[in-house]
Amino acid sequence: MVPMNRTERLMHLLQLLRCKRLPVSGQVLANELQVSLRTLYRDIATLQRQGADIQGEPGIGYVLKPGYMLPTLMFTQVELEALILGLRWVQRRTDPALAQASQTVQGKLRTVLGQQALQQLEQAALFAGPGHDDSDGATAELLREAIRDERKVLIDYADSKGAVTQRTLQPVALGYFDGFRILAAWCELRSDYRHFRLTNISSLSFSSQRFVGQGGWLLARWRSDNLKRGVVVQP
């Protein structure tokens, strides 16, 4: 593992503290950063002088109070590579609205990154290949809207044998895979979770009914059901 320089270490320390709601001991932080306790205490003091509201003391633990904002975004080289590759993948492999949003985010990054990070971003030699045809792009956009608004959708769906059924769905998740896209939804016809290839949806419309307040619960239950079957679903 390549040691972090001091700037990277300070950023990582801030991130560790941001993830903790309760005080965390200096020894735990030092172990995570792979530095001595003395170095950890100096890093804490440096961040406090820079305006970070870190409260605590040796032997008790430290906590970062909300509200501290960095003057500029700072990322490690690997973090920048992950960002640009992810954004380029979205730009090339998803629907038009997400592709446009990816370009917008890249533009915003260029305005807030420091000069060195900006140069690293521009020189990142990581690219995403082209995706499949976008015949179901409009369907994906509508489904993302339905998921956000917790709105039921009505679809005509063709199975593997070509038989078409009408379904009322409570959409909970949308998966973008190489060559195809999948909707996970609670199907009222089957009274269970079902997965639908977007290319097999011949028509889609919003229902007048919604399932407000149930979307998060349905998503958590869908993940739990998948986990029981040995399928790990990453958010």
CATH of the domain at 168: 2.30.30
Are 150 and 213 in a shared domain?
A: yes
Are 196 and 159 in a shared domain?
A: yes
- Percent of the chain scored above 70 by pLDDT? 92
Are 142 and 171 in a shared domain?
A: yes
Q: Name residue 210's beta-bridge partners.
A: 151
Are 106 and 152 in a shared domain?
A: no
Which residue range forms the structural domain that includes residue 23?
6-64
Total domains, the chain: 3
> For residue 145, is it within any domain?
yes
Q: Which residues neighbour 211 within 8 Å (Cβ) at sequence distance 6 or greater?
A: 150, 151, 152, 170, 218
Q: How far is CA 184 from the centre of its chain?
A: 17
Are 100 and 168 in a shared domain?
A: no
Reference 139, options 147, 149, 131; nearest CA is: 147
Question: Which CATH number do you get for residue 10?
Answer: 1.10.10.10
Reference 177, options 225, 136, 214; nearest CA is: 136
> For residue 128, is it within any domain?
no
Are 103 and 59 in a shared domain?
A: no
- Cα angle for residues 111, 44, 9 (degrees, 5° grid): 50
> For residue 117, is it within any domain?
yes
> For residue 46, is it within any domain?
yes
Q: How confident is the model at residue 76 (pLDDT cuts 50, 70, 90)?
A: confident
Are 143 and 213 in a shared domain?
A: yes
> For residue 130, is it within any domain?
no
How do residues 111-151 score in pLDDT, each as one tens digit? 777 777 788 888 888 888 877 677 888 999 999 999 999 99
Q: Name residue 62's beta-bridge partners.
A: 24, 56
How do residues 39-51 score in pLDDT, each as one tens digit? 999 999 988 887 7
Decide if pLDDT at 32 tops 80: yes
Between residues 36 and 121, the one the model is more confident about: 36
